[in-house]
Structures are given as structure tokens and as C-alpha cells.
Structure 1
Amino acid sequence: MSTEKSSFVQEFEKKYVARLKDREFDFNVLSFQEKVDPKYRRAQIRYIGGGGTGMHNDQNVIKAEGFTLSTMLLPPGSEGPLHLHHDVEEVFFVIKGKAIALIQEKDGEEVYEIPLDTRDCISTPPGVYRGIKNHTDEEALFLVMIGTKKPQLPTYHEGSELEKIRIERQKAKAAAANK
């Protein structure tokens, strides 16, 4: 076996290998949520595609062809708010720490909590509200996989502050695209 890298291997690595040392812990991508409530502070670390945050222009990720994959750093006491993906399932896999998965039927009132420990996994189908929170004193790290290369941005409960902001951001993006 050769230890010298061929041009094929060099190009393959550029296109299909994402290393932690080259990742950004992006606390800004979801900062609009944190402005609504500081408990929503968390960081996305993108590997394949932009995930559900809509960061599809990140040139430092492996191009998504069929799904997205990122990790999420959830500081103690932080929470990913309940949100809905109409078009796709979403998987949370706890790499380190503990978390509580939140689920709610689309037209339901009750929010259910499902405790997750290290290496536990939950898959949420389209049309079910989902969220995740860290109820411990230590940070939690989990993998997030979304089953399409370019998911629609999630929605939030109708009339909620996060949904109002999502709509405003969507309008601003559309206006900028029409200029």
C-alpha cells in the first residue's frame, strides 16, 4: 500500500472529508432564537450540507447529496425550541451528555419529554414538532441528521415570537433576492 497520496486521493479528501479542526462552532446561525430567549443559545457544527438552519452556502462542508449531517453543542440549560419540518425526518443522536427530546403532535397541546443518554437516538418524522433541551450542568453534544440535501426551513407554532421572526426573515430574504 502506497503512503504517497495520488491526485485522486487528494481531490477525494478535499471533496469528501470534513475534519473537526476545520469546523466552526457556529453560535450565530441560530442567534435570532437566542434573542427571543437566551435558553435557545447553541452552536451548529456543519459537516455535510447546511442542515435545517439554511446555511446551504457554507463552502467548508461536504456537499449534501441525499441528507445533511451536523453536530449541535447544547450548553447547560439550553434548548433547541419546538419546531416543525414539514418535508423531512430529523434524527438526534446524543454523542456526549444527556438531553431531553421534546415532541408534540402537530395539532396537539401536550409536549412530551423523552430522556436521552449518551449514544441514544431519536428519529422524528415529518409533521411532528420536535425540540431538544439540556437539563444538566454539563454541555451536551449531539449529531443531527436531516433526510434531504436541502431541507425547508423549519416553522414554529403559529403566532409565536419565533414564527413571527421566521416570517420576517423569509420576507427580507425574498425582497433581497428580487433586487
Structure 2
Amino acid sequence: MQVARHPRPAEIADWSLEQIMARYVARFGDRVPDWNAFSDASIDGYRRAQHRFIGAGASGKHDDASIVPAANFTLSIMLVPPGQGNAPHTHEVEEVFFILQGKCTVFVEDEAGNRLSRELGPWEMISCPAGVIHGYQNDTDEPCYLQVVLGRGRPDVAGFTDQSLFEKRDAHLR
């Protein structure tokens, strides 16, 4: 007989294995790409689609029942077309960009506008500490898929460094 050495969370303590599998398995083919996941995603140069898997993510959209629940992190796959990326921003927690397919230029900046960039390819990543300005840009002719992980199950909406984007950061939720 096997013994579970750690208790299940209270909310699933009495669930069957079928219920656990039904709630905690997510397939890429079942994800709907959200081209309006972020307020900057409607601006040319920042267009990208989010495929949400685990946790709410930094988009601020928390109402999708198909997202696997998480207490301590999020996981999404981003489709970044050629010439697109995201606006420089910060989070209150760390954020990881892990390249799955294609190439992407990741960057960190300071508040004086100094930027350091690196091109990353498949199986390469950057972990951006909380409060560090960061982002990515697809400077190639091919789409890029990257995995994004944030260090909280329900993080705050991204803190864009551009004041006009910051003021509109919840516009995509309406």
C-alpha cells in the first residue's frame, strides 16, 4: 500500500482521481489564444497572444474556468509574431521567459533608460527579478513561442514603465 506523505489541499481532499485529472490537465489545443490579454497588446509592436494554462497571470483576467488553479505561480505560453514583443514593465514577483520555439531578444533596463539585451533561442531563458524593468521583442522573421512563469498564482497587473500605458493597464478588462 502507498502512503501520501503530504495532505491534499482542503479544497480537493475528497476528490476522485478523475476529478483531479479533469481539473488539473490542460492541453495546448484546448487553449484559446487571447490577443487582448494585455493593455499594450492592441498597439503595433506589442501584439502577442497569451495561452493561459496555470494561474491567472499578469493580464488581470481571472475568470476563465479552464485555467488550472495555482497558489504560488502562473504559467502561460506566448505567441509573439515577427516584429512584436511587450512594453517594458515590472512585477512585484519574479517573471521567467523560457524560449520554446524561435528566437526572442530579452532585455533589462534601469530607470535611466540604459538597456542590456540578449538574443535567446530554444531551451534558453531569463529570470527577471521583482522590480527590474524587463521585456522581450521578436526581431526575427519567424514567430516565437515562449513560456512565461510568474511567481504568484494571482499577480498584480504588469506595471508598465510608460505612464500612458500604465494608466490604461486595466482597459483590456472591460
- TM class by shorter-chain length? 0.7 to 0.9
Q: Structure 1 CA distance, aligned partners of 2:147 and 2:171? A: 26
Structure 2 residues not aligned, in runs of 5+:
1-14
Q: Structure 2 CA distance, aligned partners of 1:22 and 1:8? A: 23
Q: Structure 2 CA distance, aligned partners of 1:38 and 1:115? A: 21
1:33 aligns with 2:49: no
- Paired residue for 1:82? 88
- SS in structure 1 of the partner of residue 136 of structure 2: strand
- Paired residue for 1:98? 103
- Paired residue for 2:70? 64
Q: What's the offset of the Cα at 1:22?
A: 1.1
Change (3 A) 1:41 1:114: same
Q: Structure 2 CA distance, aligned partners of 1:108 and 1:157? A: 11
**Superposition map of 1:20-169 within 5 A:** 20-30=28-38, 32-35=39-42, 37-85=43-91, 87-105=92-110, 107-157=111-161, 159=163, 161-166=164-169, 169=171
Equivalent residue letter for 2:107: L
User: Segments of 4+ in structure 1 off by > 6 A?
Assistant: none
Q: What's the offset of the Cα at 1:16?
A: 0.9
Q: What's the offset of the Cα at 1:112?
A: 1.5
Structure 1 residues not aligned, in runs of 5+:
1-6, 174-179
Q: What's the offset of the Cα at 1:169?
A: 4.0
TM-score (normalizing by structure 1)? 0.83
- Paired residue for 1:15? 23
Task: Render the CA deviation track for 1:71-128: whole Å, top value 9, x for unaligned.
Answer: 100001101111111x2000000000000001112x2321221111111010000010
Task: Render the CA deviation track for 1:130-172: whole Å, top value 9, x for unaligned.
Answer: 111100000000000001111111111253x212312x749x9
Query: Which of the pair is proportionally richer in helix?
Result: 1
Q: Structure 1 CA distance, aligned partners of 2:71 and 2:48? A: 26
Q: RMSD value over aligned CA atoms?
A: 1.9
Question: Is the Cα contact below 8 Å between 2:57 and 2:154 reproduced in 1?
Answer: yes
Question: Is the Cα contact below 8 Å between 2:47 and 2:84 reproduced in 1?
Answer: yes
Q: Structure 1 CA distance, aligned partners of 2:62 and 2:96? A: 19
Matched residues, number: 160
Question: Is the Cα contact below 8 Å between 2:41 and 2:47 reproduced in 1?
Answer: yes
